[in-house]
Every structure is written in structure tokens, then in C-alpha cells.
Structure 1
Amino acid sequence: MADKLHFSLVSPERELFSGEVDQVDAPGSEGDFGVLAGHAPFMTALKEGQVRVHNGGRVTAYDVRGGFADVTPEGLTILAEHATEAA
């Protein structure tokens, strides 16, 4: 079984997601990026776009506007200025 990535998506209103996932793709201010378990640590600003969460063959999308992504050895945390689950 492949390693899982711990991912949290938080907006000022609430935590939209927290759990173990396969991969997360996000809209970085310097280009879109993907994160898997074991990714090298980094921090970046986010631009408007979609965060796509891949888990067990399913993809869930969230619309985000601004914020930051922080990749650490513990996982990925996105602190979004605004986030909603995509329709």
C-alpha cells in the first residue's frame, strides 16, 4: 500500500477537510503543483483556482481564492483566504 499524505484545508470560516489522501494538486502563485507523501518541505502563496484532492480513485475539488500552502514532513496544510467545495 502506498503512503498517504495528511492534508488539511482551512478557511477563516471553518475546516473544510482533514484526513489522509493520496495526492493534492493546488494553484500556486508561481505555478500549479502536486504533493504526495514524502514531498520536500516548502511554503508558497496560492492564487485563485481549484485544489484537487485525490483519494482512492476519487477526486474532490475545492475552489480557493488566495492563501498559503505549507508542506512539512507531517503533511500539507492549506490556509485559504476563501474556500468552498466546487459544484
Structure 2
Amino acid sequence: MALHFELVTPEKLLRSEDVHMVVVPGTEGDFGVLAGHAPFMSIIRNGDLTIYSGPNSISGRIHVEGGFAEVSEKGLTVLAEKATEAA
């Protein structure tokens, strides 16, 4: 079962894809989201989103600055003030 992940900035939709897991830099600490996660909302801090295509396969890192993350029955949506592909 895959998690639907969307990353949105004020300029555009940057990502909309099905993934295994995303680790988000929350203000209370990093948290991982898998398919079926309980509904949840968090403010995010500046840091890197880590996107996993499989249990041990990192498919990308995206640096985000400010915003919110919402987990719902539809998946994970991150609304970031700024986002850039991490090196």
C-alpha cells in the first residue's frame, strides 16, 4: 500500500506521487508518515523532507522552509513557504 504525497509551495505543486514513506521535519521533531497513518497536522521547521520509494530506498531529499504538514485519509500534504531539491 502506497502513501500519496503532495508538496505545494505558493508558486506551484512540486510533487504529487505515491511513495513508501516521507520523513518530515516537524517543530516537535522529525516524524515519519506511512500509508494508513492517523490524521495529524504539524507546523514544519526548516529542514529536509526525506522521501522513501521503498523500506530502505531514499528517492529524494527536499529542503523546506516553513509551512504545515497534514496527514489525512488521502495521504500527506506539505504546504511549504519555500522548497528546493537538497544536494
TM-score scaled by length of structure 2:
0.93
Q: Following the alignment from structure 2 to structure 1, what is the Cα–Cα distance between the partners of residues 45 and 17?
A: 23
Q: Following the alignment from structure 1 to structure 2, what is the Cα–Cα distance between the partners of residues 60 and 8?
A: 13
**What is aligned with 2:60?**
60
**What is aligned with 1:26?**
24
Question: 5+ unaligned residues in a row in structure 1: which ranges?
Answer: none
**What is aligned with 1:82?**
82
Q: Following the alignment from structure 1 to structure 2, what is the Cα–Cα distance between the partners of residues 85 and 18?
A: 15
Please state how far the C-alpha of 1:31 moved relative to its aligned partner. Answer: 0.8
Structure 1 residue ranges (4+ consecutive) displaced by more than 3 angstroms after TM superposition:
none
Q: Following the alignment from structure 1 to structure 2, what is the Cα–Cα distance between the partners of residues 16 and 54?
A: 16
Structure-to-structure mapping, 1:33-48, within 5 angstroms = 33-48=31-46
Identity %: 54
Question: 5+ unaligned residues in a row in structure 2: which ranges?
Answer: none
- Asked if 1 retains the 8 angstrom alpha-carbon contact of 2:50 and 2:58, the reply is no
Please state how far the C-alpha of 1:68 moved relative to its aligned partner. Answer: 0.1
| Aligned length in residues | 85
**What is aligned with 1:4?**
2
Q: Following the alignment from structure 2 to structure 1, what is the Cα–Cα distance between the partners of residues 74 and 7?
A: 14
Q: CA RMSD in A?
A: 0.9
